[in-house]
Chain A
Amino acid sequence: MATMIETPGVTVTQNEGAGGTGERSRNLILNMGPQHPSTHGVLRMVLELDGEVIVRATPDIGYLHTGIEKSAESKYYQQVVTLTDRIDYLAPLCNNLAYVLAVEKLLQLEIPRRAQWTRVMLAELTRLNSHLVWLGTHALDIGAMTVFLYCFREREELLKIFEMASGQRMMTSYFRVGGLALEPPLGLLERIENFISYFPDKIDEYEALLTKNSIWVGRTKDIGYISPADAVAWGVTGPCLRAVGLPLDLRKDSPYSSYNEFQFEVPTRTEGDVYARYLVRIAEMRESVKIVRQALEGMPEGAWKADAPGVTLPDRDQMKFSIESLIYHFKIVTEGFNVPAGQVYHAIEGPRGQMGYYITSDGGPKPYRCHMRSASFANLQALPKMIEGRLLADVVAIIGSIDIVLGDVDR
């Protein structure tokens, strides 16, 4: 292969013929990104083209690498929660959830039902939030600008709900080891109820704009196909895997945080193309609304954090009158808590697929090793399988359809 030219943007290089025959092939190398709006961040794609057909696609990542796994090794377990927001910044609460579940598994903590249900409810709202950004930007890439504005209108209300619960719109850090950061405020459930009462109509609105739109169907149908066998072998998870007909969803298969108490369907399609992924995600949004509604109707009363004095912070009221509470607060904040030695891997079904945390503890107050298995990373690895043999114009549609977040890929 000819050497790549370093300038950003689009660069065209003549390629030497393969096999050392001295013959110059007609293939061109096209550099796409890393500063390219349709790559959803900073992804660089090196495309080898024969005319308009892509012979080989090589994703080049790392432009957003921030060393979060290394940072996590120098922070107390509770402090790492704030780092997990910043990995997949479109689904911060799902990241929080995967991390705290992993640490709670290490500690073998029992979490009160109210905290579990609140976690489920907010994780599903996060899924809606993430799918809305995906739908808006994916449609924008293909040329449908209205959808973007509609999606961000609804997302704004979701961000306000997150702000109401946690005080932050995006970097929420609302789930903590042992429960929640704060008691859910008064009026939160009413606000969520109001949102999900009108949200299904909005999904109909998006579908009216896209599902039967001949331009949309023409740009997405029969494009970016991946076979079920390839999808499993390449570690594809989430909506991309369900779009090839495999009903794999960790919320059903390995239920966590009381997901087994909720009734919902796992939408699948069998076509395995960009359009199928679109339909799967739209159907998932409707299922998420169902889960949130069940959570609102059956929200249990009671404690919102575990009764684990050395791990969860004491109530602020008690701290003013009880010296033990004050001591615990001081010790947890200044020196963290020790976690029994061992290793765990806990995976949840994030909006993009399997979001897993592998944590090794050496018995100290900081993770000895904290590895994030991000869905975007594994899904991106399978991207060349979907792109190769397709036309250049389809690349943008296919990248949009796997819904990557580069913060999630590079960590």
Chain B
Amino acid sequence: MNAETLAAHPALQRLVESVTTDRNEVTAAALRQNWRAVAEAMRQEGFDQLCDLTCVDWFPAEDRFQIVAQLHNTQTHAWLRIQTRCSAEAPAETLSTVWPAANWFEREVFDLFGVRFAGHPNLTRMLLPDAWEGHPLRKDYPVEGYR
């Protein structure tokens, strides 16, 4: 499925800000409030496997966290990346109700970035100890000296 057919999809046209193709990879950027709706529409479209979900910290930009998910269609072997922007105060909705696989990926993002996901069933620390202070993959996390 190429960028044109995806971009013409009615659900995407309604929900997504932009669809771009870069280095043969299609990226659909959604607004935060449409995040789950886009995911559900793409799930209906045949993207039945969530391969990866992670975050990029664009500190000090506003809405600094970019949530990125890689979707795969196991029938047609098409790939799609969906992304949205959010902040620590205004979280995006969880995708674990759409693909159960998102559960751990979102927990990992919460652990390392401190990004919350509204409606997540078990948003607790996963890789770091429960008593850890801060979220190390944030760009403003000190990497030298005393913490």
A residues lining the B interface (CB < 8 Å): 61-62, 65, 67, 69-70, 74, 105-106, 108, 232-235, 237, 246, 248, 253-254, 342-345, 347, 354, 356, 358, 360, 368-369, 371, 373, 377-378, 381, 410-411
* B104 near A381: Cβ-Cβ < 8 Å: yes
Q: In the complex, which of the residues A70, A253, A360 contacts B137, with contact meaning CB atoms closer than 8 Å?
A: A70
B81→A342 contact, CB < 8 A? no
Chain B 70-108: CB-based contact to A (< 8 A → 1; otherwise 0): 100010010101000000000000000001110110000
Stretch at the interface among B9-17, B32-40, B46-54: B46-54
| Structural contact, B128 and A65, CB atoms closer than 8 A | yes
Residues of A near B49 (CB, < 8 A) are: 232-233, 235
Interface of A is mostly: mixed
The smallest C-beta distance from B121 to any residue of chain A, in angstroms, reads 13
Q: Are B127 and A65 in contact (CB under 8 A)?
A: yes
Is A345 a contact partner of B77 (Cβ separation < 8 A)?
Answer: no
Cβ 8 A contact of A358, one of B68, B74, B143: B68
In chain B, positions 112-139 with a C-beta closer than 8 Å to chain A are: 112, 125-129, 136-137
Residue in B70, B79, B103, B143 whose beta carbon sits within 8 Å of that of A381 in the complex: B103
Report the Cα distance A371→B22, complex, angstroms. 19
Establish whether residues B51 and A232, one from each chain, have CB atoms under 8 Å apart when the complex forms: no
Closest B-chain residue to A107, C-beta based? B23
CB contacts (< 8 Å) of B4 on chain A: these are none
Residues of chain B with a CB closer than 8 A to A377's CB: 104
> In the complex, what distance in Å separates the CA atom of A69 from the CA atom of B143?
13
Q: Which residues of A contact B45 (CB under 8 A)?
A: none
By the criterion CB–CB under 8 Å, are A344 and B23 in contact? yes
Cα distance A342–B68 in the bound complex, in angstroms: 13
Does B52 lie within 8 Å of A254, measured CB to CB? no
Q: Contact between A246 and B74 (Cβ–Cβ < 8 Å)?
A: yes
Known: A70-B137, A358-B70. A235 touches B23 (CB 8 A): no
**Min CB distance, B36 to chain A, in Å?**
16
Q: Which residue of A lies closest to B129 (CB)?
A: A62
A236 to chain B: closest residue by CB: B101
Q: How far is the CA of A411 from the CA of B129 in the complex (A)?
A: 15
Which residues does B use to contact A, with CB under 8 Å? 22-23, 25, 27, 48-52, 54, 56-57, 68, 70, 74, 77, 79, 81, 99-101, 103-104, 112, 125-129, 136-137, 143
Extra inter-chain contacts (19) besides given A232-B49, A358-B70, A378-B51, CB under 8 Å: A61-B126, A232-B74, A233-B48, A233-B49, A233-B101, A235-B51, A235-B99, A235-B101, A342-B23, A343-B25, A343-B27, A347-B51, A358-B54, A358-B68, A368-B56, A371-B54, A373-B52, A373-B70, A381-B103
A253 touches B52 (CB 8 A): no
In the complex, the answer to whether A234 meets B100 with C-beta atoms within 8 Å is yes
Residue pairs across A and B with Cβ atoms less than 8 A apart, 19 shown, are: A70-B136, A74-B143, A105-B23, A106-B23, A108-B23, A233-B48, A233-B101, A235-B49, A235-B99, A342-B22, A343-B25, A343-B56, A344-B25, A345-B51, A345-B70, A358-B68, A369-B54, A373-B70, A410-B127
Q: Contacts of A373 on B, CB cut-off 8 Å?
A: 51-52, 54, 70
Q: Given A235-B99, A369-B56, are A62 and B128 neighbors across the interface (CB < 8 Å)?
A: yes
Cα A254 to Cα B128 in complex, Å, equals 34
User: Cα distance A215–B112 when bound, in Å?
Assistant: 44
Q: Shortest distance in angstroms between A199's beta carbon and chain B's nearest beta carbon?
A: 31
Query: Do residues A356 and B74 form an inter-chain contact, with CB atoms below 8 A?
Result: no
Are A232 and B48 in touch, CB under 8 angstroms?
A: yes
> How far in angstroms is the closest Cβ of chain B from A219?
28
Are B51 and A248 within 8 A (Cβ)?
Answer: no
Tell me if A345 and B126 are in contact (CB < 8 A).
no
Q: Which one of B56, B79, B125 lies within 8 Å of A360 (CB-CB)?
A: B56
What are the residues of chain B within 8 A of A342 when measuring CB–CB? 22-23
